[in-house]
Amino acid sequence: MSTLLVVLLVILPFCTDCIVFPRQDEGPLIAVMDFKGSKMDIFDPSGGVNATVIEEINLEDGDRGACGIEFNYRGDVIYWTDLHAMKVYSLKADGIDQEQKIIFEGDLGSPQGLAYDWIHNNLYVSDLGLNKIMVINPETGAWKTILYVHDVIDLEVDPTTGWLYWISGWEDTAVLMKSTLDGQNQAVISSDVERPMSLSLDYDEQRLYWTETYPVNMIKSIRVDGEDPKIVHQADSRYQFSPMYITVTRDDIYWTQGSTHRVLGRSKNTDQQPTRYKNLETRGGRIILDKPFSGILAIDPRKQTESPSLCGDYNGGCSHFCLPTLIQSTPPYNCACPDGMNLMDDNSTCSTEVTKNPKSNWLDSFFS
């Protein structure tokens, strides 16, 4: 290798598939998925209309169906789903070029939504194709079906309060619901839902935001207790202006728009005109018209604040999953087993053996 090349490699480091998360004292970054282009674009929204892509990540193993996206701030990891490949992936975000990994494949039909419990290290996935919500251990790939939900579209979790939220159905069957993180204690939050597409949780104000697609073309919000519903944004009635995927953080909401390659953002509490981040609509100097954005995510350390684990030390004594339930319960969690395994009579250990009490696994009991 020539001396000149060595010098260039030292003074001009180049990393095409890496990103560094913002520090606690910095503003959020926004990540958005290019559905057909198998790319992830990262930009800083503080640049306003002049904001540019600061990192473009090629999603190597995907099948042109990148959709759901989530992050693990403490672990410097981004997770995403691919609808066509039917897989869940991870990428290290510590500033070093890392190999993208498949963390789950198999028994997926159309994985769309992702939500990460950063306190108990559980990754929740909504599968529209198989009508279910699963929880995955992102380190081992172990997985468990915790709920069967017809036409489940997207989901969010709040491990600080112990709740799982999801949106499902279409028109007459559409509904916004919640349960504890173990899938129990289900309750309807709102039936004032028509054509839902994406869901996002405002942790600070404990409000849920969701998009309603064409011809409704709205962004709505409601408190997690079902009170104070609002129409946050009313878009143009045409299909191409329909709000699709949404993320909320601090004082702002950001969303992708219809069949266009556009990202917009505005304050969540005012009626100001949204900012259109036009520089995201070009690639290599070419305007992109036929490759819509899909999932969008605010990467913000304030969204994943430290809080005591409801499972306490040693994973609550559970051999596999420790899933929080009602905080006032004793204990405030349930041990759960990966699909294909049984919870033994000690209510802590999972095994392929047949337990003496086959209904000790509460989910099997519920559907028996």
**Interval 197-212: pLDDT, tens:** 999 999 999 999 999 9
Tell me what percent of the chain is helix, strand and coil, each rounded to the nearest 5: 10, 45, 45
pLDDT at 284 (0 to 100): 59
Tell me the domain boundaries of the chain. 26-303, 313-367
Q: Name residue, tokens 């962004």.
A: 219
pLDDT at 291 (0 to 100): 62
Q: Specify whether the CB–CB gap between 210 and 246 falls below 8 A.
A: yes
265 half-sphere exposure, CB direction, 13 A CA radius: 29
Q: Which of 8-12, 77-81, 140-144, 345-349 has the lowest mean pLDDT?
A: 8-12
Highest mean pLDDT among 121-125, 241-245, 291-295, 356-360: 121-125
pLDDT at 355 (0 to 100): 58
CATH architecture of 313-367: Ribbon (2.10)
For the stretch 135-150, pLDDT in tens is 999 999 999 999 999 9
At 286, give phi and psi (nearest 5°). -105, 135
Decide which of 187 and 241 is more confident.
187
Whether the pLDDT of residue 1 is over 60: the answer is no
Percent over 70 (pLDDT), the chain: 88
Whether the pLDDT of residue 8 is over 50: the answer is no
pLDDT at 5 (0 to 100): 35
Q: Specify whether the CB–CB gap between 172 and 150 falls below 8 A.
A: no
Instruction: Label residue 195 by pLDDT band (50, 70, 90).
Output: very high
The reply to whether the predicted model has a pTM over 0.75 is yes
Nearest-10 Cα torsion for 354, 356, 362, 363: 30
Instruction: Label residue 238 by pLDDT band (50, 70, 90).
Output: confident
SS3 216: coil
Highest mean pLDDT among 80-89, 116-125, 230-239: 116-125
What's the CA gap between 174 and 130, in Å, rounded?
17
Q: Specify whether the CB–CB gap between 126 and 152 falls below 8 A.
A: yes
Instruction: Label residue 259 by pLDDT band (50, 70, 90).
Output: confident
pLDDT at 276 (0 to 100): 94
Q: Name residue, tokens 């519920």.
A: 366
Mean pLDDT value across the chain = 88
pLDDT at 270 (0 to 100): 87
26-303 belongs to CATH 2.120.10.30: yes
Residues 6+ apart with CB under 8 A from 351: 341, 342, 344
Computed on alpha carbons and rounded to an integer, the radius of gyration of the chain in Å comes to 21
pLDDT at 14 (0 to 100): 40
pLDDT at 60 (0 to 100): 76
Q: Residue 283 corresponds to which amino acid? A: R
Mean pLDDT of 268-293: 78
pLDDT at 308 (0 to 100): 93
Q: Which of 61-65, 91-95, 318-322 has the lowest mean pLDDT?
A: 61-65
For the stretch 31-87, pLDDT in tens is 999 887 788 999 999 999 999 999 988 887 766 788 999 999 999 999 999 998 999
